[in-house]
Amino acid sequence: MGIFDFLSGEFIDVIHWTDNTRDTMVWRFEREGHEIKYGAKLTVREGQAAVFVHEGQLADVFTPGLYMLETNNMPILTTLNHWDHGFRSPFKSEIYYVNTTRFNDLKWGTKNPIMCRDPEFGPVRLRAFGTYSVRVTDPAKFLIEIVGTDGKFTMDEISYQIRNIIVQAFSRLIAGSGIPVLDMAANTAELGKALAEKISEQIAEYGLTLPELYIENISLPASVEAALDKRTSAGIAGDLGRFTQYSAAEAMTEAAKNPNGGGGMGAGLGMGMGIAMAGQMQPQMAPPPPPVEHVWHIAENGQTKGPFSKARMGQMAQDGTLTRDTHVWTAGQDGWKTADEVAELAQLFTILPPPPPGA
């Protein structure tokens, strides 16, 4: 990682670090005995900081730039060693390069459901996951609080701790937000921003900050989501009665698909639901349509007359034009029959008054 140029075979002239791992947060400049030539060149690139540690004590921090390691550029180290301006000898110090760029697309998520009180559904369990980015803002504090003497510190070594902090802060934020579960999807951006601010305040003591945090999904347990789907179906059906009919019909369909699966149990269950559904549907069914009124034809002297309605046939029975022996026919009847052979017309003669006395 480091490239060293030597003026002689003993002392370092140029100190710098390039990283191609994409996950290294801190790298220690390795040199046996940590001997550094006074006046050596120190290169700190953009997105880096160099921290000097002398005899276990934090010394100078160098931001991006090119430096000549002299007393005027190392005030803390000079004070620690009581150097004067005539100092020219090599010195021993550890140099830690700290990556100050963003580490992006880091994952977080709730391992276990979070209990919340929803204003509409009551107590619910929520899961959530998303991504975040982290950046070192105070290299010296990060080195003291987190890294210690680790010569190569990667993002993986702290990501688990940050995930725990995110989940803990998310639990508190969701519990106190008062946002209904059904409205959380519309507020994930605001929740993510508020969560990043809270966590940044907490991890500032580590020399870190969270520039971004995204909540990709907030979900309910599968059983609760299934109940919500049924509730949605009820809303589409319009009322509870129709929803019950819909559920019964679904159960009958599933039972029909597997008639042998439960030894006849599925069929019996489907039949019972069908009967219950029929009982619920009966009060809501429209009355049956009125019967179709027949029209009649009469055969008289080899000719056909009609058609006549039943009311007209009754009048004809009263005036004698229609008798019991008159041959009649209507659509759907099997051939000609006498009027008294047709139950519908035979009634016309039973309600006629008897002949008057003396007739």
pLDDT in tens, 55-96: 778 888 899 998 887 765 665 555 655 455 445 556 677 889
| Tokens read off for 102 | 């963003």
pLDDT digits (tens, 9 = 90+) for 17-65: 998 888 999 999 876 655 677 778 889 999 999 998 877 788 888 999 9
Q: What is the DSSP letter of 209?
A: E
What confidence score (pLDDT) does residue 2 get?
47
Among 45, 35, 177, which Cα is nearest to 100's? 45
C-alpha span between 138 and 140 (Å, rounded): 6
Could you check whether the bond before residue 307 is cis, i.e. omega within 30 degrees of 0? yes
Q: Is the domain defined by 103-220 classed in CATH 3.40.50.980?
A: no
pLDDT digits (tens, 9 = 90+) for 96-112: 999 999 999 999 999 88
Contact indicator for 68, 41 with CB cutoff of 8 Å: yes
Three-state SS at 56:
coil
**Do 295-350 and 103-220 have the same topology in CATH?**
no
Give the start-to-end residue ranges of the domains of the chain: 5-99, 103-220, 224-282, 295-350
Q: Are strands 5-6 and 12-15 parallel, antiparallel or unpaired?
A: antiparallel
Q: Is the domain defined by 295-350 classed in CATH 3.30.360.10?
A: no
Cα–Cα distances (Å) from 148 to 17, 26, 154, in that order, read 19, 10, 13
What confidence score (pLDDT) does residue 209 get?
93
Q: Are strands 12-15 and 41-44 parallel, antiparallel or unpaired?
A: parallel
- How remote is the C-alpha of 210 from its chain's centroid? 24
More confident residue, 348 or 206: 206
pLDDT digits (tens, 9 = 90+) for 123-154: 888 889 999 999 999 999 999 999 888 889 99
pLDDT digits (tens, 9 = 90+) for 282-305: 555 566 666 667 888 888 888 888
Share of the chain above pLDDT 90, in %: 24
What confidence score (pLDDT) does residue 4 get?
42
DSSP string for 102-149 = -EEEEEEE-SSPEEEEETTTEEEEEEEEEEEEEEES-HHHHIIIIITT
Contact indicator for 36, 93 with CB cutoff of 8 Å: yes
Over 60: is that where the pLDDT of 256 sits? Answer: yes
Q: Are strands 208-219 and 152-154 parallel, antiparallel or unpaired?
A: unpaired
Backbone angles phi, psi at 74, to 5 degrees: -130, 70
Mean pLDDT, the chain, integer: 78
Over 70: is that where the pLDDT of 114 sits? Answer: yes
Over 60: is that where the pLDDT of 317 sits? Answer: yes
What confidence score (pLDDT) does residue 3 get?
41
